[in-house]
Amino acid sequence: MNEQRVNKPTISDLAKAAGVSVTTVSHAFSGRRHVDPETAKRIQALADQMGYHPSSMARALRSGRTGVIALASSMPFAVAAGPSRLGFLMEIAASAAMSALTRDLALCLIPPHPAAQGKGSVGFDGVILVEPMRDDPLVAYFEQRKTPIVSIGTVPDRPDIPAVNIRSRETAALLLDHLAQQGCHRVAALIGAAPRTSQIESAAAYEAFVTRFGGSSLLVRMGEEEAEDTAYQETLQLLRANPSIDGIFAAIDAFASGAMRAAQELGWTVPDRLRLVTRYDGVRAKLSQPPLTAVDLHLPAIAEKAVHLLLDQIEGSSRMIEADLPELIVRRSSQMPA
């Protein structure tokens, strides 16, 4: 008895059954172009009835793409992830991976560690860079490979690179104004020395704050390596030399942790003697004693915007988009004593 072979339905069969073009069916499954929601739902229902499953390998062969995007940062591990590995970069990665998955893409995380920053041979359809520096080697590397790039946080002096503007100057101003509202008259700032837009704009916001309220600038720039220990040592010197300081703005949460250690060692109670705020509302801020006032940067929404922007960049469309305004999360570290 001869077995009758049943041919699997093709994308053309599905397009014909749905009364649409093959391109529309492709976009309905990939999410890379807008398809009317009702049309997409009808295509999916017909696909289920017919037993059609899109072939990721076939799509890759037709398009010349891998179906993989990457997420990378030149920030040191101590800043981007921290001891708990649940920091800034990890939060973005989790949200970006989910966003990519809904578009039938895989996300590869390039960890912020020297062993992972080598020039490997893995190819990506595009890459999201998290807060790159001016003249960042990762930008040069991926541009040399002609890999489409988008950035979370604008790239200094590179307006040609599509980016999600995370509004770092407004974030810093929000925190500094909060310190002023809590009665601080002598505010110092701990800001990263690396030329990232977040640190450049935080410094500009601090200098504008000092000009507005009077007094002299107490801005300390620090390297990102060994960030908490560096901030601890620098804050010890800063507080000993300037006993009138009553507030500290830390542009990096690891700096805030180091500043808290220094204050406690000197017997400066927080918030009675010193009020402390930081930029990122992550694990360090929440587990600090007392908990740190910080801002919700809306990182899941930022990651979603970055993935969408990267897909546009892969298709040849380039633009800048704005993140939502950050939200101040007030905790005990900055609250004026009753």
Domain architecture of the chain: domains with CATH = 11-54 (no CATH), 68-166+298-324 (3.40.50.2300), 168-297+328-334 (3.40.50.2300)
36 vs 61, more confident: 36
The candidate with the shortest Cα–Cα distance to 66, out of 15, 13, 30, 105, is 105
The candidate with the shortest Cα–Cα distance to 12, out of 41, 47, 63, is 47
Do 147 and 121 meet the contact criterion of CB atoms below 8 Å apart?
Answer: no
Cβ burial 99-114 (10 Å sphere, 16+ → b, else e): bbeeeebebbbbbbee
Question: Average pLDDT in the 152-161 region?
Answer: 95
CA distance linking residue 39 with residue 43, whole number of Å = 6
Look at residue 129 and tell me whether its pLDDT is greater than 80.
yes
Band the pLDDT of 116: cuts 50, 70, 90: very low
- Angle, helices 88-101 vs 299-314, to 10°: value is 50
Q: Which range has the worst mean pLDDT, 17-21, 167-171, 207-211?
A: 17-21
Band the pLDDT of 7: cuts 50, 70, 90: low
Do 151 and 162 meet the contact criterion of CB atoms below 8 Å apart?
Answer: yes
For residue 176, the model assigns a pLDDT of: 98
Look at residue 323 and tell me whether its pLDDT is greater than 80.
yes
Q: Which range has the worst mean pLDDT, 50-59, 84-93, 185-194?
A: 50-59
CA distance linking residue 118 with residue 11, whole number of Å = 40
50 vs 162, more confident: 162
For residue 127, the model assigns a pLDDT of: 94
DSSP state of 196: B
For residue 250, the model assigns a pLDDT of: 97
- CA-to-CA separations, 97 to 71, 79, 82, 271, 307, in angstroms, rounded: 9, 21, 20, 38, 9
Band the pLDDT of 115: cuts 50, 70, 90: very low
For residue 110, the model assigns a pLDDT of: 85
Does the CA dihedral 255-259-260-262 come out positive or negative? Answer: positive
Q: How many residues does the chain have?
A: 338
The helix/strand/coil state of 170 is helix
Kindly calculate the radius of gyration of the chain based on its CA atoms and give it in whole angstroms: 24
Element housing 90 (H / E): helix 88-101
% the chain with pLDDT above 70: 87
| Cβ neighbours, 10 Å, residue 286 | 13
CA distance linking residue 100 with residue 70, whole number of Å = 10
For residue 34, the model assigns a pLDDT of: 78
Please name the residues in contact with 158: beta carbons below 8 A apart, sequence gap of 6 or more: 139
pTM: 0.78
46 vs 276, more confident: 276
Amino acid at position 180, single letter = A
For residue 170, the model assigns a pLDDT of: 97
Element housing 144 (H / E): helix 137-144
| Cβ neighbours, 10 Å, residue 136 | 22
Neighbouring-strand partners of residue 107: 69
Do 79 and 255 meet the contact criterion of CB atoms below 8 Å apart?
Answer: no
329 vs 90, more confident: 329
The helix/strand/coil state of 323 is coil
Phi, psi angles (nearest 5°) of residue 280? -105, 125
Question: Average pLDDT in the 27-49 region?
Answer: 82
